[in-house]
Amino acid sequence: MISSSVEQAVSQLLQGNLVGIPTETVYGLAANALDEKAVASIFAAKNRPHFDPLIVHCSSLEEVKKYSTEFPAPLLKLAQHFWPGPMTLLLPKQPFISDLVTAGSPLCAFRVPNHPLTLEVLKSLPFPLAAPSANPFGYVSPTTAEHVENQLGEAISMVLDGGPCSVGLESTIVGWENGLVIYRLGGCTSEEIEKIAGVKISRVQTSSSQPAAPGMLDSHYAPKKKVVMVEDWNNTHCDCNQGFLFFGDQPFEAYHFRNLSEGGNAVEAAAQLFKFLRELDELPIEMIYTQLLPEAGLGRAINDRLKRASA
């Protein structure tokens, strides 16, 4: 059931139920982060492996401080600048945050989302919300309430409709290990992070079979159709059984295609990426061909998703 009622969403969450919530990045599948039974139901609804940790969403920086035990100074600078926004920070957790949320790690991923409806929900609850993306595990992330309803409708109580997601890519996940570490590329660019934190990024570790943070598995964000990375469009044969995901100038006419941004704008491309992958996935084609974007700014995060979709 899709509804725009904040009161209804709060009521369902207070009862320990699952609710799809809008954020500026993607829609999340939310439940009480302090209730192990509710958290377990997230994993069951998504068919998500328990070794893949969740993000805990709070209403403010001050709320996050209640659930963490330490806040390294560079990460605090990031929180003060980017929250609410597409930034997730990996921080030492209080013991009452279940190991189920963190996959046994002493570190927990925290975020303050930038969406008015979800912030209103969070401010109305006496607990934070654990919320991975609201889709079957490994599939393309949802950027509208309809995406969530179509795939998880029977497994959840409701979807809070906040319109299409404005950013369209998951949050950037950053931690501190004797230096600044990026665990997942996302809606905040590396250039912005270094500028605000006042230190250089020491490591980018965005994939692992034993993930320290969400979104680090090699194969992820993938449609059901095979995604093929193309190095040179001139060597690509086009027919009606193929779909194409372009960026910028279109190299040739195609039967089935989407263009992330005809003007070559990475922000527009990020907002369209998951929507267009879903649309191509629903067409009568066998494969989806695409090419990496320039490796700068949001292009890095988009490329990260494309590589995982094709893994």
Q: Which residues on neighbouring strands pair with residue 159, listed in sequence order?
A: 2, 20
Q: pLDDT value at position 210?
A: 67
Q: pLDDT value at position 308?
A: 87
Q: pLDDT value at position 91?
A: 97
Q: Top-level CATH class of 226-310?
A: alpha beta
* pLDDT tens per residue, range 97-109: 999 999 999 999 9
User: Which burial class, exposed, middle or buried, applies to 235 when counting CB atoms under 10 A from its CB (0-12, 13-18, 19+)?
Assistant: exposed
Residue 125: count of CB within 10 angstroms of its CB: 17
Is cis: bond before 84, omega within 30 of 0? yes
Q: pLDDT value at position 311?
A: 80
Q: pLDDT value at position 208?
A: 65
Q: pLDDT value at position 289?
A: 95
Q: pLDDT value at position 235?
A: 78
* 191 Cβ contact partners less than 8 Å away, ≥ 6 residues apart: 297
Q: For the chain, give every residue range classified as CATH 3.40.50.11030.
A: 226-310
297: tokens are 């700014």
* pLDDT tens per residue, range 9-55: 999 999 999 999 999 999 999 999 999 999 999 999 999 888 889 99
Q: pLDDT value at position 115?
A: 98
Q: For the chain, give every residue range classified as CATH 3.90.870.10.
A: 2-204
pTM as predicted: 0.91
Q: pLDDT value at position 213?
A: 76
* 97 Cβ contact partners less than 8 Å away, ≥ 6 residues apart: 33, 34, 56, 67, 108
CATH 1.10.3720.10 is the classification of domain 2-204: no
Q: Please give the sequence-ordered ranges of beta strands (E in DSSP) within 17-96, or none if there are none.
A: 19-21, 28-32, 55-57, 87-92
Spans in the chain with pLDDT lower than 70: 206-210, 217-219
Q: pLDDT value at position 149?
A: 95
